[in-house]
């Protein structure tokens, strides 16, 4: 399989979908020059300014126009640059796009993709570093995707573009340069289907997005201690693969959920509660969550690292569950 970066995988996915379907187009700030991270580089040369559309700095206007265009039959891909900036357009997404299909009795759909880069990225500070995926998983009508690998970033973006419901597509900024194998051909991802990263019998560790790589590293260290961790990458938070998680925890009897986002009211709490309600008699230890403290993310690298969930913390938490 060819090897490419997380960024290039998403660029290829969009280009292939635009070639396949003339109703697919992209809109956002700075797309003509390739986007903030280069994920649109060169696309304007092939598709022109009508389909790689530069917009003024008004997130609510960008998303509002895209919602209307989606309801009229096109398939917009909206670039919000940072998930933090998308909050300026949260009404258009949460109160309009998410509810239109229901409120019109199925007479209209909103096939819209909203790309919201998330996560900490080289001292970007409090207004450019948040992971807000739990906000959108809470909203009926929205699909939430959180790809962790180049292969998934291509396959899930294709699935998002073809979806007839609005998809909040959250790519981690720290993963843009990550390289990995990507299957050739028209491979389309499946929402609600988790990826088994590593098999194990002692403890189940569930994660998503960039935190998956921290967990995978922790699993290697745990193996050196004789602890066999099973690692699951959810891939999408709504829908999420409840069956895969229940099946794994049913075998291991232990669950650790790891997220980069603030732990308070994060999506990890949903996973933890869901499993605890259904498998409480099979659990060998209380369910545990790891996430960031409820504080703003600092600019200073040393303080940013204090917020970050690191490999050592995952190892210690998993060890504690096994030794409980």
Q: What are the residue numbers of the active site?
A: 128
| Range 101-124 burial, b when 16+ CB lie within 10 A, else e | beeeeeeebbbbbbbbbbbbbeeb
CA 67 to chain centre: 21
Handedness of CA 15, 19, 22, 23 (dihedral sign): negative
Burial of 228 (0-12, 13-18, 19+ CB in 10 A): middle
CA 4/CA 9 separation, integer angstroms: 6
Residue 245, Cβ neighbours under 10 Å: how many? 22
Q: Note whether 290 and 258 are within 8 A (CB).
A: yes
């Amino acid at each position: 399989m060819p090897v490419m970066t997380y960024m290039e995988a998403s660029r290829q996915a969009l280009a292939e979908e635009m070639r396949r379907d003339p109703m697919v187009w992209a809109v956002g700030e700075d797309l003509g020059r390739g986007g903030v991270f280069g994920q649109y580089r060169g696309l304007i040369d092939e598709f022109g300014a009508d389909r790689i559309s530069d917009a003024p700095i008004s997130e609510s206007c960008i998303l509002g126009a895209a919602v209307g265009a989606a309801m009229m039959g096109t398939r917009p891909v909206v670039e919000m640059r940072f998930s933090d900036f998308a909050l300026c357009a949260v009404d258009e997404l949460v109160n309009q796009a998410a509810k239109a299909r229901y409120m019109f009795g199925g007479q209209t759909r909103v096939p819209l993709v909203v790309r919201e880069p998330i996560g900490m990225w080289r001292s970007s500070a409090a207004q450019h570093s948040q992971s807000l995926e739990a906000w959108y998983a809470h909203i009926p009508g929205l699909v939430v995707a959180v790809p962790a690998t180049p292969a998934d970033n291509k396959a899930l973006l294709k699935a998002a573009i073809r979806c007839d419901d609005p998809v909040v597509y959250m790519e981690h900024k720290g993963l843009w340069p990550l390289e990995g194998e990507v299957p050739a051909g028209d491979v389309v991802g499946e929402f609600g289907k988790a990826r088994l990263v590593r098999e194990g019998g002692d403890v189940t560790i569930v994660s998503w997005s960039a935190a998956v790589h921290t967990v995978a590293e922790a699993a290697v260290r745990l193996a050196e201690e004789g602890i066999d961790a099973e690692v699951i990458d959810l891939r999408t938070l709504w829908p999420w693969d409840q069956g895969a998680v229940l099946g794994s925890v049913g075998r291991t009897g232990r669950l650790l959920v790891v997220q980069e986002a603030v732990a308070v009211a994060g999506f990890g709490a949903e996973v933890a509660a869901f499993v605890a309600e259904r498998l409480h008699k099979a659990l060998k230890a209380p369910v545990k969550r790891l996430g960031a403290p409820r504080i703003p993310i600092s600019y200073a690298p040393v303080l940013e690292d204090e917020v970050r969930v690191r490999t050592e913390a995952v190892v210690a938490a998993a060890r504690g569950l096994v030794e409980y």
